[in-house]
Structure 1
Amino acid sequence: MQFNVSRKSESTKLSINEVKLSIFDKALQLNPKNSWLLVEYLKCCEQTYDVPKLLTKWDQILNENPGDIVLWMEYITFRQTNLVSFNVTQCLQLFEDCLHVLRKSVLVANDYNEKLRIERIMIHVFQRACVFMLQSGYSERAYACWQAMVELVFFAPDHLRQQTFYDRVAALEVFWEAEWPRFGEDDAKGWSYYADQGNNEMQVIPAPLPSPINISNLHGDMYEKWATAEEMHNGRLLSTRTGTGGDDDINVDDPYRIIIFDDIRSFLYDVTFPQSCIELLYACFSFVGLTFNPGYSSSNPLITDTFLNNKLANESIANKSFWATRLEENCLFKFPIKAFPQVEDNLFNSQNWICICDEVDVINVDMKFVRNAFYQLRQVVNDTGIKLSRLSVEHLYDTSSGRSLAKSMLKREKMNLALWNGYAQVERSSNKYSEARKIYLGAIAQILSYPERFQIDAPLLHRTFAEMELEQGHYKTAMNILTLLTEEQGNIESIAEVDVSVTRLLKAKKYYAQQMAKSTTTISQYESGNSLHYCVCYALLECLSQNIQQACKIYEEMIQDIEMRKGYLDLEAELIFMAYPLI
């Protein structure tokens, strides 16, 4: 009886699916190039067609729409998840084909936003490809792809920067096969450095080959020894050098550990926009296991893509630190999955707030590669977010080293208030509140002497300083900090545990109300960020001077304004929602 019901159910499903396919056929006659219609049509075909017929249908549609990126991404996902047709070599070829299509698309695109969109898609596809290589056991090739991309984009010699992409790739091959130290490796100085020195003036000193793993020396039974040996092999992430410029044979147990340029050539692509260059670096750090992001919304494909964000599957069982213990039950903001935007207030570990990258996140990260990478980028990347990410990593690696790095950065950029805030956050994260307070007071005392363009992060500095004082229960001090931000002739001597006068308080609230009104016309990223900080400062001041209901009202009005202004809730609104619980 049950068997008959099952057969009827299957028959009903097939009948319904046939009707759906008929509807799709009619719809596609009127909209033959509609990407999402084609994707849903192919998903419907999966329910009826066998795999060979389905692959033929995919090939047919891709041949008819060779430049459709949506279709390519869906096809890659299908091939990665279909067990019958899955093949590592074929999947890698698909990634290469997709990047080839994207390289051609960006050349013919005329619109600025369209070019930027395609570059971001290329970063996404490239990251997917490298993660796939890593998970398939080709870690050396995956890391080599990233090394080549960063050398190509950030370290190309000046005389090559105006040449075509393919000319630069040809020149990069010479550098690669010469086996100079590459991005992320010890003593690497960048492609341009070695190109400027000339081949005749320097000699390649090959890194020593890693010693072979002797299983007999490992502990445990035969299965434990095998598993340990595999983990040790996987820990050797970078490609082996021949020491001969790639001309002679070398005795290695795994020939795939030597990466020649032909192994990575077809995965390279051009990145020209400053935003894309920074996003490429964040994608690289995400690949090695860091959880930083350039302020992506939680709905961004690079956050939601399960092929890229598999931390839950990789660590939740093996990593005991992933699971909350009874001692941590009161730590409400210890989120193991970092699917939220990176902003200045969540870069450093805190007992009372979320953190984008903490000590648990770096357990399985190759810190040697990461620290080398950040150090080598310092001369070619002038981005405050990258600098703060480096400071966060260094602080996680060693507290005193992080403190030294912060001081070193500020010697070169004395007027960078975001770095001053980062330095204070390092001390605050180490529970050295008095030191953090000195840093905040010193930075705030100098703000008015800076040129106006360097004062833009003043709201951030006052906000985080006030939040720190609130953590310590210094409510009046926090009110004085929030009030000082609104005063042109303010003095840090007013920052004390004393009452704020009614006159000062009223003037401060009026100032904040004016800033909130300006936020309706903000256009730049900095202005958008400052509107968030002003909103938080205003809400905190209302909460301290009146009640929490007034503070909530400010957040609600800000969210309503964003929705009315844009017609939807975007990253700006998400940041407001993130700050809302702080009151």
Structure 2
Amino acid sequence: MGEKNGLTGGDEIDMASDGHRDQSPERRKKEERRRREREEAQALVRGDVNRPEERTSKNKEREKSEERWLKDDDDGTPWYETLGGGKKVGSSDKSYDPSKALFLDTAGDRDIVRYGATTSHSAPRYYRDGNNRVMGWNEGIRVVYSRDRTQKGIELAPKGRPYVPRYNKHIRSATSHIYRILLPPSSDRQLDYDTSFVAFDSRPKRLEEPDLPSYRSITHQDLPDEGKGGEYELVEDAIGSFATAEQEVRKKTVDMERRLKEQPGDEDAWIEYSTLHLQLSPEAERVPGIDPTRLATTKAQAEVTLSILSRALNATPENGYSISLHLAYIRSAEKIWPGRKVTERWKNVLRELGQASDRRPGLEEGMMKLWLGYIEWREGQGFGKGDGEGSGGGVDEVVDVYVECIERLNNGMGGDALAREENLVYLFLRACLFMKQAGYQERALAAFQALMEITFFKPDHLRHQPHPSQREAWFASVTLTFEEFWDSEAPRIGEPGSMGWRNTPANTPSPPSVPRDPLVYKSEDPYERWLETELRAETLFARPGRATDLDDELEDDPFHIVVFSDLSPFLFPIFSPEVRLQLIYAFLTFLGLPFTPPGVPSASPANADPHLQWLLAANQSARMSFWPPKPSVKRIHWQTVAGEPMDPERPLSISSPFSCPVKNWAQTRSTLFAKSTGSGAWFRDLERIDLEGVDVEVVREVFRIMGPLVPDPGFTLAGFAVEAALSPKNAIKAAKSILSQDRTNLLLWDGYARLERQRGNASTARTVYITALQAAKQERGEREKTEDEMDLWAGWAEMEFEEGDKKRCLDVVVMAAGIGEDRISLGQYESSTPSPLSLLKTRQYYHRLAPTGSALLLSSLLTYLVDGIDTTCDALLDISSAHPTSSSECEEALQLLSQIMFRHATLTPSMPAYLSRQVLERALGAFPNNTALLSLYMYGELHNRVYGRVQRLIGEMTAESSGNAEGKGVVGYLWAVWAEAVAAHRTFWDAGGGGAERVRMALDKGVNSSR
């Protein structure tokens, strides 16, 4: 049978009678193998490890084959250097070499760092000694390797067989007692680099507790194997106590609960308590580009806040009338409630607190905050969301809210008369800006025209100030008389031929209509044609129309002609001179000019108010200046120098610090007439690009008619700056025309000289200064110098300093102190070096002089020219510290110091960078939204190739929880956007580059900010 099947006799297989295979030998082998395994297992359990193990021939052959090519010892030599060098076990020398007992593993296991455990794909190049035995354990227990050993740690099994669960025990990792340690930041960042180690603050070690139990001890003593181990105690003794953020919030929550239980009427504590849980929500959870109000976490956080604030309102009867608690409650509800429900809540709170304001003193003064919050809601997220009473909402409804608030203030809400008038002007400006941006430009401009005419150009018989009890009747008669003037359609303020209400004769014809060329469409698409028509109308027909206008383009616009009934709700009387001046500058802001009243710092609430910062929205060129210019040549990724390839030199991302489109700083005559480029350049308040979209004719008429009525010469100088931005040549003509009528005004002479210097005519400007000072000296005689004359001297000295003529500048400073000033009366003035005695007398003179802006400039220049930049820095810092923080005097001193340091760095490149950095960081701490200081800081750091501080500054400007976050406002975000674009100019225009994404992140933070 074996031959028939091709098998030899040794290959015969026993077959059963039925033709199937006989499996009895295999069954006997399996039973024998199981018996041996049971005996071996029982021997292991009994601990009989000395019994000789029985090995089958198959096992012996396998072990011999494994040990055939083993080396005597592994010295760490790479495998590719030992190919063919293996030798038989029997042929190796069995002598013991102590130097080879240990070796250095040069390969190692890289995955253990990446994954935290070993992996079977990168096993070490050595073998365990003792055939996988475990020291201290039974000899029969061996270490095994399974597929899951990286998750289960070391696995043990009898004789190294596959993993058996009953023979394994979970052993806690040796590092399971280690906790994450959060070290509190140290205020002392000084580090001694000479020491060989960094020492931690340590505490005295605890006294060791006795091993024997103390039966008198009341407190529980932890056993050595309980709680935290010894290593933890060593770490705690080394670094002291620590706490996580959650523990800090939990502790503060307990303290606040205890405090509020004792003092339930503490409103600030309730508001702080309602925001504690927000400290545990990281900002990283918000995805850029997604509205945070749509996130589930926002809804959950708002519900927790509402629950706490609801408890606060019901805690005491007084809390129910707390304006701050109601504001916090409604602003949290705005995130999750429907719009109509929020609007209804606003109206209910305004009605109830308004009725209670008569009975509760002090409540009426805080109602303005409540009204401003309601207005912000109606023109923001609540726009178009009525209260469910059938009104759909929109522009008209928001205007009605403004009118209602103005009427309440006009009727006496707000307490103090001066504060009430300031609030009225602020609300009026916001209402007009809202109407202008909503498309009702004619009504907005007409409202300003009417209020300016009533305030400054009333007829003589209506100019008296009535008794407080008769003001309502008196103002009613004023508006009734003014209605006749308005309906006559005579020229009004800002229009050609306007002379003011009281100076306009009866039957004065209305201004003639200006012929305009017909519109030539650039597109055939009807929607694009509609857009072209609207843009043209927005530009050409922004002034209020007349009934005599017969322009075909205005036939379909029913809002172009503004009747008096559209204006009367916005009118109110103003009696305070300070508020009248604020109204004038509010009109300039409405027209698109960035001028502020004198003495207003950059940190004022008006400069940080996003509702008043609208100039960029109407100026496309200014918006485009935020982005870096597109590169005209292809970027080189590498270059060769002396045959060696290397990275190319990166050009500076900013050529000068004066190109920032966001302008917010302390306005002085230095910034009003500054040069934009060249030597002596500085930050300029108004440039030609800033006048895009501004009706220049209206602006000129306003300066012409209001100039004689404003006592501050700075208003006239602002008119000079407008003309200089449009045409420097025309500005010179306008200045000469005004000076011909007012030749004794020294500040106007200073403005004229600055115009000449702005054009680059320094010699002409010097002649103007000498002529004006000669006339002033002749007029005053032997009397003391006036403040205006000192301003003239200061302007001359500043010009010489900016031109880089230190010798002439020092001579002018000395002559301003009255020493040798007769030399300017000579035919030809020549500068000379002052003597030491003259310098001493000059110091004494400025020390006695009253602290004014001109005296500060002259004394600072004297200190700089004589003592150096370090002494000047210390002196101006001391002067700024003497004034209140965030005051205009403090900001002017710091801004002057930054100007002197910038000039010094330009002339002396060896000036240490840390000197200007320290000054600017201190100045930015007090005025964080001064864009001049911000730009100087950024320019200095980028010029020194230090990018980390710039990124840190940008992060602080956009951080929601940064210090003085409310003072930065929208200005800080706008500057951060520009700074990000400038810093990322290399990749800003690249497809997929990171520069545009950084700018997009800054914009996202600004849009979703709560400031």
- Interval of TM-score (by shorter of Structure 1 and Structure 2): 0.7 to 0.9
Aligned twin of 1:174: 484
117-126 or 390-399, larger mean C-alpha shift = 390-399
Of the three residues 513, 530, 533, the one matched with 2:847 is: 513
Change (3 A) 1:8 1:289: closer
Of the three residues 859, 872, 879, the one matched with 1:551 is: 872
Question: Which blocks of at least 5 consecutive residues in structure 1 are unaligned?
Answer: 245-249, 520-529
Q: Kindly, what percent of the aligned residue pairs are identical?
A: 28
Q: Distance in 1 between matches of 2:670 and 2:839?
A: 25
Q: Distance in 2 between matches of 1:466 and 1:7?
A: 60
What does 1:316-465 align with in structure 2 at a 5 Å threshold?
A: 320=624, 329-351=654-676, 352-451=681-780, 455-465=786-796
Paired letter, 2:543: L
**Offset at residue 349 of structure 1 (A):** 3.6
Number of residue equivalences: 547
Q: Distance in 1 between matches of 2:296 and 2:740?
A: 76
3-state SS of paired residue (2:522): coil
**Offset at residue 315 of structure 1 (A):** 3.1
Q: Distance in 2 between matches of 1:496 and 1:330?
A: 36
**Offset at residue 543 of structure 1 (A):** 1.1
Could you tell me whether the CA contact under 8 Å between 1:116 and 1:273 is conserved in 2? yes
What does 1:4-403 align with in structure 2 at a 5 Å threshold?
A: 9=297, 12-26=300-314, 29-66=317-354, 67=364, 68-82=367-381, 83=383, 85=385, 87-105=394-412, 109=415, 114-162=416-464, 164-194=474-504, 197=505, 199=506, 202-205=507-510, 207-208=512-513, 214=519, 217-222=520-525, 223-235=527-539, 236-243=541-548, 252-295=555-598, 296-315=600-619, 320=624, 329-351=654-676, 352-403=681-732
Change (3 A) 1:51 1:28: farther
Q: Distance in 1 between matches of 2:714 and 2:311?
A: 50
**Offset at residue 224 of structure 1 (A):** 4.1
Q: Distance in 1 between matches of 2:380 and 2:753?
A: 46
Q: Distance in 1 between matches of 2:733 and 2:313?
A: 65
Q: Distance in 1 between matches of 2:299 and 2:709?
A: 63
Q: Distance in 2 between matches of 1:488 and 1:35?
A: 61
3-state SS of paired residue (2:523): coil
Aligned twin of 2:896: 579
Q: Distance in 2 between matches of 1:89 and 1:11?
A: 31
3-state SS of paired residue (2:821): coil
Aligned twin of 1:533: 854
Change (3 A) 1:213 1:116: farther
TM-score by length of 1: 0.86
**Offset at residue 136 of structure 1 (A):** 0.8
Could you tell me whether the CA contact under 8 Å between 2:521 and 2:529 is conserved in 1? yes
Q: Distance in 1 between matches of 2:576 and 2:295?
A: 57
4+ aligned runs moved over 6 Å, structure 1: none
Could you tell me whether the CA contact under 8 Å between 2:625 and 2:661 is conserved in 1? no
Change (3 A) 1:251 1:467: closer
Q: Distance in 2 between matches of 1:8 and 1:353?
A: 49
Could you tell me whether the CA contact under 8 Å between 1:418 and 1:461 is conserved in 2? yes
Could you tell me whether the CA contact under 8 Å between 2:327 and 2:373 is conserved in 1? yes
Higher relative contact order at CA 8 Å, sep ≥6: structure 1 or structure 2? 1
Paired letter, 2:446: A
Aligned twin of 1:247: none
Question: Which blocks of at least 5 consecutive residues in structure 2 are unaligned?
Answer: 1-284, 286-293, 355-363, 386-392, 467-473, 632-651, 901-1011
76-85 or 498-507, larger mean C-alpha shift = 76-85
From the two aligned structures, give the one with the greater helix fraction: 1
Change (3 A) 1:446 1:11: closer
Q: Distance in 2 between matches of 1:258 and 1:398?
A: 33
Could you tell me whether the CA contact under 8 Å between 1:206 and 1:242 is conserved in 2? no
Deviations along 1:206-252, whole A, 9 cap, x unmatched? 533765954xx3223425433322111001111111139xxxxx972
Change (3 A) 1:311 1:8: closer
Larger radius of gyration: 2
What does 1:457-496 align with in structure 2 at a 5 Å threshold?
A: 457-487=788-818, 490-493=821-824, 496=830
Could you tell me whether the CA contact under 8 Å between 2:813 and 2:858 is conserved in 1? yes
**RMSD between aligned residues:** 2.9
Q: Distance in 1 between matches of 2:535 and 2:300?
A: 49
Q: Distance in 2 between matches of 1:209 and 1:146?
A: 22
Q: Distance in 2 between matches of 1:418 and 1:7?
A: 58
3-state SS of paired residue (1:415): coil
Q: Distance in 2 between matches of 1:316 and 1:274?
A: 36
Aligned twin of 1:527: none
TM-score by length of 2: 0.51
231-240 or 205-214, larger mean C-alpha shift = 205-214
Change (3 A) 1:28 1:489: farther
178-187 or 504-513, larger mean C-alpha shift = 504-513
Q: Distance in 1 between matches of 2:314 and 2:830?
A: 73
Change (3 A) 1:11 1:71: closer
Q: Distance in 2 between matches of 1:259 and 1:305?
A: 29
Could you tell me whether the CA contact under 8 Å between 1:184 and 1:370 is conserved in 2? yes
Q: Distance in 1 between matches of 2:703 and 2:405?
A: 30
